[in-house]
Structure 1
Amino acid sequence: MWAETDARAVEADDPQNNDILVVGRPQAALMEPASTGSRLGLTPLETPATVSIVDGDELRARGDLTIVDAVTRAPGISSSANPGNGGTALVVRGFSGQGSVLQLYDGIRLFPVAGTITFPADPFNVGRVEVLNGPSSVLYGQGALGGAVNVITKRPNTTRTEVDGEASYGAQNSWHVAAGAGGPLGNTLSYRADGSYRRSDGYVDRGESSSYALSAALRFAPSETFSLTLRDDYANQRPIGYFGTPLINGKLDTTIRRRNYNVADSNLHYRDNRLILTAEWSPSADISLSNIAYWLTSKRLFKNLESYCWIGANGDCPNGYNGTSGTPGTIYRTDNLVIFHDQAQIGDQGSIKWGSSLGGIRNDMVIGFDVNRVNLTYSNNFSSDLQEDFVNPQTFNPGQFLDTQGIGPRFRTRTTEYSLFIEDRLRFSDQLSIVVGLRDEHDRVYRQNIDSAGVIGPRLFTKTLHNTTWRIGTVYQPTATVSLYGQYSTGTDPLGTLTTYSGSQTQFSNATGNQVEIGAKASFLGGRGTASIAAYRIVKQGLLSQRTATSPIEQVGQRSSKGLEASITLDLPLGIGIDANGALLDARFDDFVSGTNIYTGKTPPGVPEESANVWLRWDAAKHVQVRAGLRYVGRTYSDNANAFRVPAYAVIDAGLSHAVTNNVAMDLRVYNLFDKDYATTTYNDEQWILGRPRSLVLTVRVHL
């Protein structure tokens, strides 16, 4: 009988029925609508694509500290985050970075600047994270060939007041306090407000960081068919000024594990704000309209000495980065950079959805538009005198930042986009349906070079890009809880970042790609188990390639990836829960030449070809829950030629939760249980960004 009961629909006297302890609900991951995979309100079981859902309560119970920590628990997702990309970049299906993995916030795309996105900042106000693996340009536009990640915030509760809070303290003098509340304010109004503050001394010298995030939403619903929601989210971050640890003689030297080679007065500071007004109207059961107007701003400061390498016996860096002589056995430091982004995005997204039935055939369609403008002023000190020095790897004076030029605006861009999209689902029966989508997008970039130092191309120019993407897929459901699907989809990626398009790129268009995917999904054991498997191949064309050292650069290169992804979730008797997933892929440059360098057949940098996650949960006693998680990421390379290899790693986290009452819990968590030294990603070829060492954290959580 246990298999016929939903994981949350337990008897009132069940000793494990503690509200504060998160229990499994596998069926929800397949049977509830997921907006990221389709605008039609389809569930993952009905969508001909791989859609994963990371529940907000679950990610907080696991102790994930960032959105990247949470989303990389999903199948086939790994991190490529470093300070240069805002600490948020991801790898999906063999494609990496902000130009190939789109980031969304409540369904609104975030435009990167120079490959950088710094929002959202904190997982406390997250309701769920949805991930669409594979090309999603047909839904969201250019820059989504690998996939799309949508962070969905907590919504106002219209029926009852709820209060959440947590406070934690642990290793590296790290602490976190957060609180949130939401509920009705009469018959027509409801609200949600959250605030979170974090700080830490860090796990390297001078590794201090701090951040706070505030969010508030007010929903006005004068009737059951119409609502207006005004939401504002603000984040202020001062992340750790750590750009990685240089290898010594090609290897990680653990004696410098805590050394930070940045200058003493380094500064990273991000301020992001999102203001969104959402209107929803459903005049009938078959017709609904929605409109989202938004204003997004980002101000980012980078002031750092960013690049370090070990000087070998020949007096140079192993990869020839330096080019000047230095004392063997020292660390060479260079790249004193000040960069400032002043970015504002304003836009509107609207759609109408309707459904109809004729002769047993159901048709659902959505048609909409998306218009936006991004204004950017980009400032830097690139024309300043070079700062460089050679320091002892163990003991050194970090020094102060040197800037003889001063930061100044270098260029301004105005990026305008408008697009029309359509999606349609034709359901022939309870078993068979076809889903198609089409998007026509126009992008126009106007750039004004204020200071032409180091700028290639004209002082003023305009570039127009036009892409049409589409997908078609079919879903066959032999039973209501099993689906088999296949799809073909197309997508586009920009060359670099659309908002920082340069004069040297004006002769080229966006790169294009396509994917073939087949898969199966199922819910079983009465909803206590789910499983999915997918096989795919993605081809990206239009890479910039130079056939010979003297030939012109052409847009003729190609790369591809093919692979398998699988996941399984089980909620078993005796309070045991299992959540596991894994991915295998083969990513390669099919045709990529740069002068005398031939990269054809090599693995693109930063792409792991194996990854896996396993989480185990055991409700050990009436008010006690034990959790353990394994994260495995396969080896990567930090360069196109695959000369610099970054080893695979496996890290285990563990936690113990005690429900003091049904509303209060204490959590003891251990991150990196076996204190493994490993690189999460790289900044330069031999400059590894190391993961957090073993850390113990005590947390008190409240849910009322």
Structure 2
Amino acid sequence: MHGCIGHAGETCGHGERIIVGRGRGTTDNRRIAMRYFRQLLIFVCILGLTSNLIFAQNTEEEEKKEELPVYAGEEIVVTESKEKVPTVSTIATKVPVPIRLTPASIGVVNHGLFQHQSGVVLGDALRNVSGVNIQTVFGVTDFFVIRGFDSLSSGLVLTDGASEPEATFYNLYNLERVEVLKGPGAFLYGGNPLSGSVNLNRKQPIFTNAFQVGGSYGPYKTGRGTVDANWADVDQGIALRVNALRQVSDSYRDDKDSGLWAVNPAVTWRPSDKTTVTANFEYVTSRYKSDSGLPIINGAVADVPRTQSYQSPFDASDQDIYRARVDLQSRLSQRVTLRNKLYYTDFSWVSQGTLFSGVFPNAQGSLDIVRSLVLLDDRQQVLGNQFELLSTFRTGHVEHTLLTGLELMQWKDKFTLDVAALPNIDVFNPVETANTSQPHFIIPGQSQGADSKSRVVAPYVVNRIVFCPCYQAFVGVRYDRIDYDDPLTSTSRNYNKLSPMAGMVVSFTKDLSFYANAGKAFAPPSSLVAGPRETEESFQMEVGAKKYLLDNRLHASLAVYHLTKNNIGIPDATGVTKQDGDQRSRGVELEVMMRPVRNWHTFLSYSFSDATLTRFAEFVPVFTQTGITYQLMDRSGNRAAFSPRHIFNVWTARGFDNGLEFGIGARYVASQFIAEDNQFQIGNVLTLDASVSYAYRLIKFRINAKNLTNQEYETRGFGSASIIPANPFGLYCAFEVNI
């Protein structure tokens, strides 16, 4: 991978976005923001004192009153761990709320679904969510587009509610479910979720003894083994769970072997029926080789074998990730629950990757690919704490479920990024001439680096207001105070941003609800932006309906949205980045989940998206007889990259009492441009997958067939220069033993 991720989720690298910096706002904005900050802090303190008063009240008086529910996050794992049709979500409010009563478009993919589909990484799960397009970054990193905006610049990935640096791939071996909040999420999670937030809910210890071991094997010597072991002592209130993964593959593409180890132990202690403490640690080490794919020549993919690789012998992408979480939950009274999350992530990435700079004629009358080698050494450390109070109370006949929180975070990022010269290579007769025994020649003026530290102080409030059974409102707001300092580049900035959200749900019957929401989010700009540095901002309005039929055996949701993003930083070929970009996305999304009869599940999603660059201009190189000049090109009106107008996905599985289960799925993705210049377009593609499994006592066998019709199609490569061929037909065999 030829980039690194800043603390707000932006990328730095050759051809990608640059590491995020923190700018200095205007005096008026700072004064207003500080006033909000003081008010929110005072409110949090008052709530804390109020909770003590509530706790001190006579319990007999409380029992006489009608209790309001105080939700615990662990309830989801217990009640829904085996369900393939999700009915509850936490990502929009941080507390379990029925999806039909959530005023937002929520996507939830449970473990049962992506396991049946032989899902391995995050993208495999997200393909079941409407409005999400799945790609990769150089074949070594998860990359997705939500409502026309890519995950690197406009999305946020969280693990158990804590922000994540970019990882090689987010593996599914230890996940209970994946939740997606579409639209701005800054009111809960702070900077960067401009178009969507993805929360990875990991498996937590449960109070029963269980053991599961699984394995799979497929094409290109792809092998995978997993372990999920749980031990519990109910009398002592202790439960221990360990998940582990080993994976190796030679890959469809030449010289792209990879390997991965991961282990995730977690322990839960319940000293009383009111208090739970969970400590969770995870270590992941991965070794991949990046892939820029096949070059595009005169508007077409090079006519060479689809497995052909033009990467240099230096290519490698090695990562080590440590994650630690400590969660405390304690019920202070019948109506007040205290929650605290301490989290730490240590992320190191050493990468060398070959990039393409274009294709040009050579002296032999053929064509050469001009290449360069990007060398990255990145270390990120994230330390934070989320303190929250969850309370329920009444004001007259109005019920409130109020979450107030304060997040403190420090994000360190130290990296060096250099660009080295590589010899050209012939497109049709590739002979590698790079000398591995000689040191790299670093191209002057192309190096970057940082030794930055960001500190975040952010109080937030979310209130679910129930006026009556048929009308509810949700109000959320978060204030972020961000201080950024990088002595290496002599950069010091600070931001003060308020991120609001408001939504409402109208439900005159239990099986039908209508909702509407509006919200804003922000992301700090690139540190290389020239001129005034404003935060990138998004704003969304959304309306929708959710229908539940046949005793909850059919769930359907429809969403219509309008999402805009302003002040997009555009790096051009001259090395100057200016905030000269705006984008608009409008669309319709439909999701249907059905259980027509016992043991038959169907999941269907469709999205229409119109993602347009409303203001976008960049300088591009133009080759002339006298050399290279730069010309300003206006891309306004073009479609956003990797934003197909139509995406349709369906998966249906039918089980029988004799242990057999059959599944089949289809995915259609309309044509999509690979860059903002709209010069090359990946065509429409329809792929089919199928599965068959058989369970006998404690053992389950499964066969998955992917790309049944052996469709040849392409995926994201490097900018407008290349694409990566997708995998052909493959047959994967798996087993699972439960004890």
Work out whether the TM-score is over 0.5. Answer: yes
Query: Structure 1 residue aligned with 2:452, among 413, 421, 442?
Result: 413
Change in Cα spacing, 1:81 to 1:186, as seen in structure 2 (3 Å) is same
Query: Structure 2 residue aligned with 1:93, among 133, 147, 156?
Result: 147
Change in Cα spacing, 1:645 to 1:170, as seen in structure 2 (3 Å) is same
Query: What is the aligned partner in structure 1 of residue 584 from structure 2?
Result: 560
The residue identity in structure 2 corresponding to 1:511 is: E
Query: What is the aligned partner in structure 2 of residue 423 from structure 1?
Result: 462
Structure 1 unmatched runs, 5+: 1-21, 112-116, 316-324, 450-458
Look up the SS of the partner of 2:606 in the other structure.
strand
The 5-angstrom pairing of residues 446-457 of structure 1 reads: 446-449=485-488
Change in Cα spacing, 1:246 to 1:398, as seen in structure 2 (3 Å) is farther
User: C-alpha distance in 1, partners of 2:487/2:509?
Assistant: 58
The 5-angstrom pairing of residues 195-594 of structure 1 reads: 195-253=244-302, 255-307=304-356, 309-311=358-360, 315=361, 327-382=364-419, 384=420, 386-397=421-432, 399-400=434-435, 403-404=439-440, 410-449=449-488, 459-496=489-526, 501-502=527-528, 504=529, 507-544=532-569, 555=579, 557-573=581-597, 575-594=599-618
**Alpha-carbon shift at residue 619 of structure 1 (Å):** 2.4
Query: What is the aligned partner in structure 2 of residue 126 from structure 1?
Result: 175
Query: Structure 1 residue aligned with 2:658, among 622, 646, 651?
Result: 622
Change in Cα spacing, 1:646 to 1:493, as seen in structure 2 (3 Å) is farther
The 5-angstrom pairing of residues 115-154 of structure 1 reads: 117-118=166-167, 121-154=170-203
**Alpha-carbon shift at residue 542 of structure 1 (Å):** 1.9
Look up the SS of the partner of 2:322 in the other structure.
strand
State whether residues 261 and 308 of structure 1, in contact with CA within 8 Å, keep that contact through their aligned partners in structure 2: no
Change in Cα spacing, 1:526 to 1:331, as seen in structure 2 (3 Å) is farther
User: C-alpha distance in 2, partners of 1:370/1:65?
Assistant: 32
Structure 2 unmatched runs, 5+: 1-80, 620-631
User: C-alpha distance in 1, partners of 2:333/2:82?
Assistant: 36
State whether residues 216 and 734 of structure 2, in contact with CA within 8 Å, keep that contact through their aligned partners in structure 1: yes
User: C-alpha distance in 1, partners of 2:333/2:245?
Assistant: 40
Q: Render the CA deviation track for 1:448-500: whole Å, top value 9, x for unaligned.
A: 33xxxxxxxxx41201122111011110111223221001111113334xxxx
**Alpha-carbon shift at residue 553 of structure 1 (Å):** 7.7
The residue identity in structure 2 corresponding to 1:634 is: A
Query: What is the aligned partner in structure 2 of residue 667 from structure 1?
Result: 702
Query: Structure 1 residue aligned with 2:132, among 77, 80, 90?
Result: 77
The residue identity in structure 1 corresponding to 2:556 is: A
**Alpha-carbon shift at residue 107 of structure 1 (Å):** 0.4
Look up the SS of the partner of 2:152 in the other structure.
coil
Change in Cα spacing, 1:271 to 1:162, as seen in structure 2 (3 Å) is same
Query: What is the aligned partner in structure 2 of residue 109 from structure 1?
Result: 163
**Alpha-carbon shift at residue 83 of structure 1 (Å):** 3.0
Q: Render the CA deviation track for 1:137-171: whole Å, top value 9, x for unaligned.
A: 1111111111000001001012x112222111121
User: C-alpha distance in 1, partners of 2:682/2:721?
Assistant: 9
Q: Render the CA deviation track for 1:35-85: whole Å, top value 9, x for unaligned.
A: 21112432222211011110012211110121111112211111232138x
Change in Cα spacing, 1:394 to 1:37, as seen in structure 2 (3 Å) is farther
Change in Cα spacing, 1:400 to 1:468, as seen in structure 2 (3 Å) is farther
Could you tell which deviates more after superposition, 119-128 or 580-589?
Answer: 119-128
User: C-alpha distance in 2, partners of 1:505/1:438?
Assistant: 31
Look up the SS of the partner of 1:99 in the other structure.
helix
User: C-alpha distance in 2, partners of 1:399/1:98?
Assistant: 32
Could you tell which deviates more after superposition, 138-147 or 604-613?
Answer: 604-613
**Alpha-carbon shift at residue 377 of structure 1 (Å):** 1.2
Change in Cα spacing, 1:579 to 1:427, as seen in structure 2 (3 Å) is same
State whether residues 135 and 514 of structure 1, in contact with CA within 8 Å, keep that contact through their aligned partners in structure 2: yes
Query: What is the aligned partner in structure 2 of residue 169 from structure 1?
Result: 217
**Alpha-carbon shift at residue 349 of structure 1 (Å):** 0.9
Q: Render the CA deviation track for 1:103-143: whole Å, top value 9, x for unaligned.
A: 111000124xxxxx116642111110000111111111111
Look up the SS of the partner of 2:301 in the other structure.
coil
The residue identity in structure 1 corresponding to 2:148 is: G
State whether residues 369 and 427 of structure 2, in contact with CA within 8 Å, keep that contact through their aligned partners in structure 1: no
Change in Cα spacing, 1:400 to 1:582, as seen in structure 2 (3 Å) is farther
User: C-alpha distance in 2, partners of 1:494/1:357?
Assistant: 39
Query: What is the aligned partner in structure 2 of residue 452 from structure 1?
Result: none
Look up the SS of the partner of 2:450 in the other structure.
strand
Count of residues in Structure 1 that have an aligned counterpart in Structure 2: 641
User: C-alpha distance in 2, partners of 1:396/1:362?
Assistant: 72
Look up the SS of the partner of 1:205 in the other structure.
coil
The residue identity in structure 2 corresponding to 1:41 is: P
**Alpha-carbon shift at residue 356 of structure 1 (Å):** 0.7
**Alpha-carbon shift at residue 621 of structure 1 (Å):** 6.3
Query: What is the aligned partner in structure 1 of residue 96 from structure 2?
Result: 41
Report sequence identity in percent.
20
Look up the SS of the partner of 1:163 in the other structure.
strand
Could you tell which deviates more after superposition, 670-679 or 408-417?
Answer: 408-417
The residue identity in structure 1 corresponding to 2:108 is: I
Change in Cα spacing, 1:253 to 1:24, as seen in structure 2 (3 Å) is farther
Look up the SS of the partner of 1:204 in the other structure.
coil
State whether residues 425 and 434 of structure 1, in contact with CA within 8 Å, keep that contact through their aligned partners in structure 2: yes
State whether residues 206 and 264 of structure 1, in contact with CA within 8 Å, keep that contact through their aligned partners in structure 2: no
User: C-alpha distance in 2, partners of 1:541/1:50?
Assistant: 22
**Alpha-carbon shift at residue 584 of structure 1 (Å):** 0.2
Query: What is the aligned partner in structure 1 of residue 626 from structure 2?
Result: none
State whether residues 94 and 609 of structure 1, in contact with CA within 8 Å, keep that contact through their aligned partners in structure 2: no
Say what the alpha-carbon RMSD is for the aligned residues.
Answer: 2.5
Query: What is the aligned partner in structure 1 of residue 8 from structure 2?
Result: none
Could you tell which deviates more after superposition, 371-380 or 328-337?
Answer: 328-337
**Alpha-carbon shift at residue 694 of structure 1 (Å):** 1.0
The residue identity in structure 1 corresponding to 2:703 is: L
**Alpha-carbon shift at residue 243 of structure 1 (Å):** 2.2
The residue identity in structure 2 corresponding to 1:376 is: D
User: C-alpha distance in 2, partners of 1:646/1:536?
Assistant: 26
User: C-alpha distance in 1, partners of 2:704/2:663?
Assistant: 9
Query: What is the aligned partner in structure 2 of residue 322 from structure 1?
Result: none
**Alpha-carbon shift at residue 632 of structure 1 (Å):** 2.0
State whether residues 210 and 239 of structure 1, in contact with CA within 8 Å, keep that contact through their aligned partners in structure 2: yes
User: C-alpha distance in 1, partners of 2:412/2:82?
Assistant: 45
State whether residues 84 and 113 of structure 2, in contact with CA within 8 Å, keep that contact through their aligned partners in structure 1: no
Query: What is the aligned partner in structure 1 of residue 718 from structure 2?
Result: 683
State whether residues 123 and 135 of structure 2, in contact with CA within 8 Å, keep that contact through their aligned partners in structure 1: no
The residue identity in structure 2 corresponding to 1:417 is: V
Please give the TM-score of this superposition, normalised by the length of structure 1.
0.86
The answer to whether structure 1 residue 647 and structure 2 residue 701 are counterparts is no
Look up the SS of the partner of 2:308 in the other structure.
coil
Change in Cα spacing, 1:412 to 1:23, as seen in structure 2 (3 Å) is closer
State whether residues 422 and 434 of structure 2, in contact with CA within 8 Å, keep that contact through their aligned partners in structure 1: no
**Alpha-carbon shift at residue 618 of structure 1 (Å):** 2.2
User: C-alpha distance in 1, partners of 2:463/2:350?
Assistant: 44
Look up the SS of the partner of 2:141 in the other structure.
coil
The residue identity in structure 2 corresponding to 1:630 is: A
Could you tell which deviates more after superposition, 88-97 or 352-361?
Answer: 352-361
User: C-alpha distance in 1, partners of 2:590/2:332?
Assistant: 41
Query: What is the aligned partner in structure 1 of residue 47 from structure 2?
Result: none
Please give the TM-score of this superposition, normalised by the length of structure 2.
0.82
Change in Cα spacing, 1:203 to 1:139, as seen in structure 2 (3 Å) is same
